[in-house]
Chains A and B, each alone.
Chain A
Amino acid sequence: MSHKIVSIDELSENVYTAEIAAPLIAQARKPGQFVIVGINSEYSERIPLTIAGADAEKGTIRLIWQRVGKTTAEMADLKPGDEIGNIVGPLGRPTEIDNFGTVVCVGGGIGNAPLLPIADALKKAGNKIISILGARTKELLILEDEFAKISDELIVTTDDGSHGRKALVTEPLKEICERDPKPNRAFVIGPAIMMKFCCEVTKQFDVHTEVSLNTIMVDGTGMCGGCRIEYDGQPKFVCVDGPEFDGHKVNFDLMMKRLGAYKEMEQKAHEQYLEHRCKLGLDT
């Protein structure tokens, strides 16, 4: 079964979104879950991507990804009507959705994509939603309107001050934690370094913080253990034990090292792809 691209757009610089036919996954998925994508069978690598949304009736899922390596670049080059050979899921444990009271949802960069369905579900469960969305610069901020619709309070930050507050997300997060009463729970999704620093903030205020991790995976079903992290001193598999964890117990430093395990090889593969693409005249 292959998966047809219904639509594909560039959301911001190097960030893409596609609506892809995957009826069974669209039906089964819950907020927080992810899929593993492989473009064809023979030689493609398998990469995990969080499901950013789904339309069960239409039978489509929405993926949002950043062009960082060969596979994400190849995906970005697909056109409506093209097909992706392999998408498996939904994988991982769904987010625990409950009425916690006031929750603060912090999204960084492309992390806004997986955060949106979670924030939406939390809103529907009766929570008061405070959203903090951060990006390097205005052009890189995604899904602001969507978050505006479901948030009781929305704070936008950019590193360069081109939009919203000139700050890192940790700054407003700290202020919100200082409020009385403090938020009941935080959900933080973004680059590992941002999740690490957000957790350092919320830990000071003892605000339980869920993070969603995106480690390197192969099968995504618990079989290989390549995605393992150190959690509370113990190994955990992100694919089956997660992808969401209590961020205060995650060893982010080690996780970041593991994320970089194949950095040089990935760069080489990406360069080779770009060169190949150039020869084909795709870059015009």
Chain B
Amino acid sequence: MPMSGDNVKETLTVTDEQRQELLEKILKKQETEGLKPSDRYEIPPQEMPEQDPILRGSNVDEVATGYTETHARLEALRCLQCKKTPCIKGCPVRIRIGDFIAAIADGDFKEALAIIKENSLLPAVCGRVCPQEVQCQQTCTVGLKYKDPTKGVSIGRLERYVADLGRNDDSTPKVAPDTGMKVAIIGSGPGGIVAAADARRAGNDVTIFEAFHKPGGVMVYGIPEFRLPKAIVQEEIDALTRMGVTIVCNFVVGRTRTIEQLMNEDGFDAVYVGVGAGLPRFMGIAGETLVGVYSANEYLTRANLMKAYDFGKGADTPIAMSKRVAVIGGGNVAMDSARTALRLGAGKVYLVYRRSEKEMPARVEEVHHAKEEGIEFLILQSPKRIIGDENSRVTGIECLKYELGEPDDSGRRRPVPIEGSEFTIDLDTVIIAIGNGSNPLIRQTTPGIEFNKWGNIVVDENCKTSMEGIYAGGDIVLGAATVILAMGQGRIAAAGMNQYLREKRRARRRFADAQ
């Protein structure tokens, strides 16, 4: 059956009434004669309503405003409920995707959320920031039919829909009776939150240590409000507090106390290290220390965590009042930086990436949103040096053009500079978003933990490190990865810790009995 892209466009212009009518028609057919796959293919993919690209450039509110019930049920009805469940194989935490989507199609949103929560603790976050098109949605049979994973069933949007419905629920997950064991979680990012919740559920006494003055890790300092509202992260933190997890901010493990002190002096029986990557890479080109050159981490932290967009209206943290900005890089962080610069008032924002758009690691949706908002993409180009004036302020970059050569270690075609292709762009701000190395603090202060040559912690299949009782997960293990992968590792590590603590407790009891 030929699938035309026209259907997709059409959904943008259909009215709520028409959408409702369509849903009723399909539900009726389902009730009377059942839906054949061909009926499901005919349901147009449901686009998510969004703020107007021009309007949203001047606010920090969330870009995508979310499905309505009609959108959600129509989208869920597109799912073929394949027996092979390729989507689940693509999900890092193996959510029973078909089942939760079937529940949405039936209008049983509570059940849908319960199914997701069996495997994922942060559905409102993951529904927003997971790269579904390269995970669950990549192999969706419906998407394959369209030859476009973005036209597959919008699993993330459905996840977000039911997660948002459940946001008012302030019930507290059940906690097992006290085990008397103490767990320290270092870092309050996605991995830490999940590890803390799971360790607490098992009855352990759990404390999270966070270096910043606010918990949430990359979800509060890095990912902007317009993509992930801070309130959602705060709700997850609040849930932890209700469960009895202690959260200590302004505490740098390795400096305020070392892991060794936590375990030997403060009585912690197990530790989860989830400190993230968080050491910004620079390019090693001339001019990177000029005034007006930021790492994406600094730029986003000033804008998000420190609320620099409210400078002069309460917030004390300044940020460059840029007019012409170039962001170097092609990942989600680069898109976030470019779109943040736009919202902070820059008139012109370039995104400079040395490979082609196909190789960009950013999510398709982020690239689409960035372009829609007017970010100009300069692909197959890369800065050779950053130029400054006599006051050491950035005035521009000199770029080289590139072409793609043979594939490199990453499997992507290697960009090769074209000699003599130099040109300059006038700028006042440059944001470097080419990734993060691992922060060496834990390594410097915890001699017993084994690290690999890239500075990442080495762990086994249970996320256990080379030291007894110490587990690790997320970017400090994986290198710069995603929220969902960090969350998955937090979960594995918590299971490992819980098991370890049960054994430790039994051994203690045996020892006490023997005395």
Docked pose: A90 CA to B251 CA in angstroms? 9
Interface pair B441/A222, CB less than 8 Å apart: yes
C-alpha gap A272/B318 in the complex (Å): 14
Check if B298 sits within 8 Å of A218, measured CB to CB.
yes
Does B278 count as interface, using CB distance less than 8 angstroms? yes
Q: Once the chains are docked, how many angstroms separate the CA of A31 from the CA of B338? A: 41
Q: B317 on the interface (CB 8 Å rule)?
A: yes
Chain B residues in 8 Å Cβ range of A272: 312
B337 → chain A, closest Cβ, in Å?
13
Confirm or deny: A228 has a beta carbon within 8 angstroms of a beta carbon on chain B: yes
Contact assessment for B316 and A226 in the assembled complex, using a CB-CB cutoff below 8 Å: no
Q: CB distance A221 to B211 under 8 Å? A: yes
Given A221-B439, A240-B441, do A45 and B306 touch, yes or no (CB 8 Å)? yes
Cβ proximity bits B187-228 to A, threshold 8 Å, 1 near / 0 not: 000000000000000000000000111100000010000000
Report which of B256, B291, B318 forms a contact with A265, defined as CB distance below 8 A: B318
- Surface stretch bound by B, among A58-66, A81-89, A136-144, A198-206: A81-89
Question: With contacts A88-B250, A88-B251, A258-B289 known, is A43 near B441, CB below 8 A?
Answer: no
> Does B360 count as interface, using CB distance less than 8 angstroms?
no
B289 near A1 (CB under 8 angstroms)?
Answer: no
Q: Is A12 an interface residue when CB atoms closer than 8 A count as contact? A: no
Known contacts A88-B251, A221-B441: A28-B316 contact under CB 8 Å: no
Q: Verify A45–B317 contact, CB threshold 8 A.
A: yes
Collect the chain B residues with CB atoms within 8 Å of residue A225's CB. Answer: 280, 282, 295, 297-298
Q: Tell whether B30 is near chain A: CB-to-CB under 8 Å.
A: no
Check B318 against A269 for contact (C-beta < 8 Å). yes
Tally A residues with Cβ within 8 Å of B: 46
Give the residues from 293 to 324 in chain B that come closer than 8 angstroms, CB to CB, to chain A: 294-295, 297-298, 301-302, 306-307, 310-312, 314-318, 320-321
Which residues from chain B contact A219 at a C-beta distance below 8 Å?
A: 211-212, 221, 301
- Interface residues contributed by chain B, number (CB under 8 Å): 46
Would you call B256 and A25 a contact (CB within 8 A)? yes
B301 CB to closest chain A CB (Å) equals: 5
Chain A residues numbered 170-186 whose CB sits less than 8 Å from any CB in chain B: none
Please judge, given known A-B contacts A226-B298, A265-B311, whether A254 and B392 are in contact too, CB under 8 Å. yes
Instruction: Determine the residue in chain A with the shortest Cβ distance to B432.
Output: A225
* B252 partner residues in chain A, CB cutoff 8 A: 88-89, 91, 221
B391 interface residue per 8 A CB criterion: yes
Interface residues of A in 217-270 (CB under 8 A from B): 218-219, 221-226, 228-230, 235, 240, 251, 253-254, 257-258, 260-262, 265-266, 268-269
Write out, one digit per residue, whether chain A residues 13-40 have a CB within 8 A of any chain B CB (1) or not (0): 0000000000011001000000000100
Closest beta carbon of chain A to B66's beta carbon, Å: 26
Q: Do most interface residues of chain A lie in helix, strand or loop, or is the interface mixed?
A: mixed
Contact A38 B312 (CB under 8 A): no
**Contact (Cβ within 8 A) B256 A257:** no
Residues of A within 8 A of B307 (CB): 42-43
Task: Provide the bound-state CA to CA distance between A1 and B312, in Å.
Answer: 28
What separation, in Å, do the CA atoms of A70 and B311 have in the docked complex? 12
- Asked if B318 and A258 make an inter-chain contact with CB atoms under 8 angstroms apart, the answer reads no
* B280 contacts A257, C-beta separation under 8 Å: no
Given A222-B439, A224-B301, A261-B291, A45:B316 Cβ within 8 A: yes
Report the nearest A residue to B292, measured CB to CB.
A261
- Chain A residue contacts of B133, Cβ below 8 A: none
| Interface membership of B134, Cβ < 8 A | no
Within the assembled complex, what's the spacing in Å between the Cα atoms of A235 and B284? Answer: 8
Decide yes or no whether A284 CB sits under 8 A from chain B. Answer: no
Closest to A36 in B: B250
Asked if A257 contacts B291 (CB within 8 A), the reply is yes
Known interface pairs A24-B256, A89-B252, A268-B312; A224-B298 also in contact (CB < 8 Å):
yes
- Report if A266-B318 is in contact (Cβ < 8 Å); known contacts: A45-B306, A257-B391: yes
Q: How far, in angstroms, from A261 to B293 measured CA to CA in the complex?
A: 11
- Contact B289 A235, beta carbon cutoff 8 Å: yes
Answer whether residue A162 sits at the interface, using C-beta atoms and an 8 A cutoff.
no
Contacts of B392 in A (CB 8 A): 253-254, 257-258
A158 at the interface (CB under 8 A from B): no
Within 8 A of A (CB), among B379-396: 391-393
* Contact of A223 with B278 in the complex, beta carbons under 8 Å: yes
* Complex CA distance for A53 and B250, rounded to whole angstroms: 20
B306: chain A residues within 8 A (beta carbon): 45-46, 218
- The 3 A-B pairs at the shortest CB distance, nearest first, are namely A224-B298, A257-B392, A45-B316
B residues neighboring A (CB under 8 Å): 211-214, 221, 248-252, 255-257, 278-280, 282, 288-292, 294-295, 297-298, 301-302, 306-307, 310-312, 314-318, 320-321, 391-393, 439-441
The residues of A with any CB-CB pair to B shorter than 8 Å are 1, 24-25, 28, 38, 41-46, 70-71, 85-91, 218-219, 221-226, 228-230, 235, 240, 251, 253-254, 257-258, 260-262, 265-266, 268-269, 272
